[in-house]
Amino acid sequence: MKKALFGLVAIAAMMINGCGGASLIDSPEISMVVMDTASVTITWDEDTVIEGHDDFAGYNVYVSVDSSDLLVEDGEDLNKFNADAITDLFYEVTSLNQDTVYYFQVRTVNVDDKVGSYNTNVPFVEASPRPEFTAIVKFEIGPGSDPDCAIRFSDATLMADSEMADSLADMWIDAWDFPAYDTVAAASPSHNIEYGTGANISMLLNLGQYDFDEIFEVTTEPTITTSVAIVEGDLVIIKTADEHYVKLHVDAVDKVALEVTITYAYQNIANYPHFSP
């Protein structure tokens, strides 16, 4: 009788311990982050070992405002952001606050809905949504005050170059070689012969011809405090005097209307230069 009872207990223990249950699977490495005005899209590398595993079901994405919350081996107590397992290699996390830095993590989930540990190479990435604006900035074309040739990035306020110091402009559009205006430049407010005294000093870097979302990582700090020549299609990185980063795309340069159309993303968290992991 005792032997029979012992056998039943042993069988029950095997069932509880999940003998033959689905394996926990390693997690992929996040490779890119794209920030929008109220969302962040994370992308991770394809891994044929992970997705080829017999027990693979998909991925879960986790979001926290405290990175330490995500550094746990057992992810069962974490709250996943997605409702169902993700089978793509990207996911958009929506309804985010522009004034908050978030930490994002992806883990693999198996057919038993159990999650593996975090990726040790890239345990998480941090990002914050960015306000984005489109603006049409006029040329500054010579001595005297010119309207709408300067801009304050935080709220897309346009102003005359004569107002830059008092209205905290971050950039103005310089143009010369009249009448053809062969050269057009984005310039630091302090770099103005007439109105630069007391104006902000912005730092600029022209990366060249890129689409707005093509560059997701800043690897070189902007350091030019005078001006950088621009043409249609250029992507410019700017660090404002109050240390906010701006990614600016030159959508159009109109030498007839004497204006530049720009789209830019303003990182409203100071000293937070992250466009990517």
Query: How far, in Å, CA of 161 to CA of 137, rounded?
Result: 11
- Domain-embedded: residue 13: no
pTM beyond 0.85, yes or no: no
Domain that holds residue 215: 132-266
List pLDDT tens digits, range 131-146.
999 999 999 998 999 9
Using the predicted structure, report yes or no on whether residue 277 has a pLDDT greater than 80.
Answer: no
Query: How far, in Å, CA of 132 to CA of 182, rounded?
Result: 29
Using the predicted structure, report yes or no on whether residue 108 has a pLDDT greater than 80.
Answer: yes
Task: Decide if 41 contacts 125 (C-beta within 8 A).
Answer: no
- Domain-embedded: residue 274: no
List pLDDT tens digits, range 178-230.
888 999 999 999 999 999 999 999 999 999 999 998 887 777 899 999 999 99
The reply to whether 163 and 227 lie within a common domain is: yes
The reply to whether 254 and 163 lie within a common domain is: yes
The reply to whether 87 and 137 lie within a common domain is: no
| Count of residues in the chain | 277
**Among 127, 142, 171, where does a domain finish?**
127
CATH number at 29 reads 2.60.40.10
Per the structure, the count of domains in the chain is 2
Give me 110's structure tokens.
């198996």
The reply to whether 117 and 160 lie within a common domain is: no
